[in-house]
Copies of this chain bind each other. A is one copy, B any other.
Amino acid sequence: MDNIGIRNSLSRWVRDTGPYSDVVISSRIRLARNLEKYFFPSRLSHDRQEEVVNEIEAVISKPGISENTEGLRTVRLEGLPVIQRQMMVEKHIISPQQAKTNGHPGKAVVLQDDEAVSIMVNEEDHLRIQVLLPGLMLWEAWDMANNIDDTLETKVTYAFDDELGYLTCCPTNLGSGLRASVMVHLPGLVLTNQVSKVLKALSQVGLAVRGLYGEGSEPLGNLFQVSNQVTLGRVEKEIIEDLISVTKGLIEQERSARELLLNSDTGSQLTDRIYRAYGILSHARIISTQEALGLLSSLRLGVDMEIIGNVEPKKLDELMVLIQPGFVQYIAGGDLSSDERDEARADLIRDYLAKDKDIGES
């Protein structure tokens, strides 16, 4: 598969560039909704779950209902090969739980071609309406999610309580059912050892922070997801305003940390780190996801700081998704062992970077 073919299998948030893309990789709005006439999915039979899927499919496929839902199509997950479901997880358009269908035919996702909108059906709630956009675009994502929500609400009856708001399976989602989040790339704060302090401050103002692609103290690829914790009793716009304001603060802190790194005694070490990352990525024959994410993070930093030229930043974002196990196998054309994946991953990275091969040979 050539690079263009691969690229077409990526979501809009990976392929496009949004505002503040030097720090903010993506913005996500998610609304949890349930239909009044069914039990929550955890207590709903498989047959009845299929009814939910069919009902939603009927609504969105009705021509002319609204431009908000145009182009949406329903994908039943049980019908997809494991690797395809895994790729959806790697693109963050479905959750890992949703991908594990266990022969369950009632799990589905409703998508547009660019995958900016994805509605998981019968995950923890009947509907998880998600909009995922590149860069810092929370308002745009909110508008899109809100419009889809409004359109659906004209056709189905949501479970709603006048006091509690939208009813959800898990109490943490009660109320607005809104989770807003940003994925940020913070290599500067990590390298200057400020990241724990900064992230701790975020959790003290009610935000949740977690590393992306893997648990543990060393976040892979210096990527973090910041989201609101509380939904009950808060107005949606307040939640989003707060997150945007915090994210802008983070952007400033990250940019200052990068300047500090470049202008301090360690500036040449930073440059060395970045060029070595490129040298290894463009030459290794075996590479793990973990190592590759770390090196891609260094290289992305170098591109964003204009220390290294000739690499499109978006290419690196794309690689962060493409080097995940599902994509690596999809591109290689079949199931691979872990060792085979490490080789295929190295091949893929070299191939993807090859267009920029003159880089760093100054």
Residues of A within 8 A of B (CB): 268-269, 271-272, 275-276, 278-286, 343, 346, 350, 354, 357, 360-361
Contacts and interface: CB of A to CB of B under 8 A. Distances in A.
A346 B272 contact: yes
A278 B268 contact: no
Contacts of A280: 276, 279-280
A53 B283 CA distance: 53
Given A354-B361, A361-B354, A361-B357, A275 B268 contact: no
Nearest to A362: B350
Given A268-B343, A272-B284, A272-B286, 7 more contacts: A271-B285, A275-B283, A275-B284, A275-B285, A283-B360, A350-B361, A354-B361
Contacts of A283: 275-276, 278-279, 360
B346 A282 contact: no
A268 B282 contact: no
Nearest to A274: B285
Chain A interface SS verdict (over half): helix
25 contacts: A268-B285, A268-B286, A268-B343, A269-B286, A271-B285, A272-B284, A272-B286, A272-B346, A275-B283, A275-B284, A275-B285, A276-B280, A276-B283, A276-B285, A279-B279, A279-B280, A279-B281, A279-B282, A279-B283, A279-B284, A280-B280, A282-B360, A282-B361, A283-B360, A354-B361
A174 B276 CA distance: 52
A361 B350 CA distance: 7
A281 to B, nearest CB: 8
Among A271, A283, A285, residue most surrounded by chain B Cβ atoms (within 10 Å): A283
Contacts of A271: 285
Contacts of A285: 268, 271-272, 275-276
Nearest to A277: B283
A357 B357 CA distance: 9
Nearest to A280: B279
A361 B354 CA distance: 7
Contact of A276 (B275, B284, B354): B284
Among A281, A343, A361, residue most surrounded by chain B Cβ atoms (within 10 Å): A361
A208 to B, nearest CB: 38
A205 B152 CA distance: 88
A279 B268 CA distance: 18
Contacts of A346: 272
Nearest to A284: B276
Contacts of A282: 279, 360-361
A216 B159 CA distance: 73
A286 B283 CA distance: 18
A278 B281 CA distance: 11
A30 to B, nearest CB: 40
Contacts of A269: 286
A121 B73 CA distance: 89
Kindly list the 7 A-B residue pairs having the minimum CB-CB distance in the complex, ordered from nearest: A279-B283, A279-B279, A272-B285, A272-B286, A275-B283, A271-B285, A279-B280
Contacts of A286: 268-269, 272
